[in-house]
Structure 1
Amino acid sequence: MKLKKLHIIAPYPKGEAPSQRFRFEQYLSFLEDHDFEIYYHAFHTPKSWKRLYKKGLFIQKFLDLNYNFLRRWMLLFRLIGAKHIFMHREMAHLGPPVFEWILVKIMRRKYIYDFDDAIWIPNYSAANARFQKLKCYWKVPYLIKWASKVSAGNDFLAAYALPFNSNVEVIPTTIDIQNQHTQLADQEKKPLALGWTGTHSTMHYLDFVVPILRKLEQEFDFQFKVISNKKPNYDLHSLVYQDWKEETEIEDLAEIQIGIMPLVLDAWSEGKCGFKALQYMALGMASIVSPVGVNTKIIQHGKNGFIAETTEEWENALRKLLENETLRKELGKHATQTIEQHWSVSVWKENYLKLIS
């Protein structure tokens, strides 16, 4: 049987970004088993991606950017006649949607558009503010409008996309419990560890819980483990920092017994797909999340985790879990069942096959 060529266009190299790894990369072998030949086109090369957030290296970064734009121009020639194109977020990090416009309006190619954040909303740190006009956030509606199909990570994102494209399907971020998240947290490990994982750009959400943790340190013996790409500057005796590494990601997470996911209620957070909570739950740990966006759909309060909004609610939830090993185990068991039944790759893989075909 002749293989069908599937061109995947994404911002980052394979295996580097959670938005890609847990949106579509974990389905690639399944698609290959169903007669697709995968061609993966990242905007960044592995080398340029590693240099991007390092201090200095301005000349090299400028050269990287120009080289990556050249690679995108060359990619257009490779897409002549392509029948299956899957685009995650955008073809290029910066600038207007020139490549996408040429692809659709001149080359007459169709693509499936996938997004998992409220990427039409400017969201950046003060350090990167001077470059944000180049991001052209206004292009997102056009990318949605020009797509033949749209895959949105949650209902909030789908509602945004529908006025621009009637062919929108919700496909959530999912967890591979057969090949990757195969471990369970050790609920009897001492000292007890509660923790958080994420990039430095979202670490500010932890500011809300730090005073609560500082108070609980006076009563309980626990570790607060932060797994990230940058060490936080929190005055906590319990703080344990660990660099995020892809090769040990699951093992490092499995050392936590309580996972936390604080957020603020705004449009950007509404667009999030609950990935942290899904990871915690897949590893059988009890989790506490803010009642924002898809979190309220994933978590059934008191059954497979806790939903907390106010300072008092967060303190009470943390206190219950720190005190009660039986409760942690019970919530963790139901959390794992929730992932197996509703948020796993095995549940959603046929939807991906239907989307691509």
Structure 2
Amino acid sequence: MTPNAPRRRAATAALLLAAVTMLLTGLAPAAPALAEPPNEGSSSKLAQLRENLDSAAKGYLEAQATLEASQTRQKTLNADLALAEADLVGLKKLVAVYAAEAYKTSRLGTLSLMISGGTPGSLLERASAMDRLTERDQSRLAALTQRQREITDAKTQLEAEIKTEQAALADMEKRKKAAEKALQAVVGGGGTTGYINPNSALAKPAPRNSDGSWPKETCSIDDPTTSGCITPRTLWAMKQAKAAGFNHYVSCHRSGGDGEHPKGRACDFAAAVGGFENASASGANKTYGAELASFFIKNASRLGIMYVIWYCKIWVNGAWKSYSSAGSNCGDSPAGDHTNHVHVSVL
């Protein structure tokens, strides 16, 4: 045995221990070949694809948010309308009671009261009583008129909300068709089937504006996966994935290239346990990637997901489409075809 053998064994054991520790804690090993983000490729074809997807998918999600906000408002207006109509029924009954009282007391006006005669005391008492009844009647009639106005206004608002909802739905459909057309023109984009697990965990919804729309965000938060920045919504989506048990290596911001990475609105999730590999995922790693893609698809409206790319397929506007980065066979370019990582773009 050479004098350096114990040192080599000790060094090997230390490296193995470090690797095991990093795997258990969800961190990627330090090997540059695995830790570096994948080169997804760059060409005019891909640039056009990403531009189309960014515009179409963003518009789709914004239209969807408008529709959801309109539906929520519609439910509120329906509830308000039901209450107003119930109040109206009650007030009509009260007015009918006071009308009957007026009839019984022969309140036909001042002249009728004077003609009916009686002592001065009884005359004043009847006049005072009539004033009180008249005041009550006027109060109830005023309330009735106000509720009638509220009902009319509520119905008008409801009709406006329905029109907004229909317009948003029509706009959504147009944007969806535009996105599909763009995909077909750039990458063939033919419809295809893809795995979606209906039992994927539900993510905690990302924050929205009070009206249900998505807040405008910039690359303003430190990216925990790189030295760059990401948007608050991107960080939220990444944390939700980790909370659901997806803890393989992740890389988000990239300073160069096109697409959402430089904007802090996209992350790449390695399929392999150790990080990004220059090989198509298989076995448990492929299952991991499919389940992760399914998680983001199921929670697209909750997290503001624009599109997901995984294993030569892209999910956008609620459907899977075929995806090829360079017209090669699926997997010839693991990074470009996204067979070694899941790409997620956030609104």
TM-score with structure 2 setting the length: 0.22
Please identify which structure carries the higher strand content: 1
Higher relative contact order (CA 8 A, sep 6+): 2
Greater Rg by CA: 2
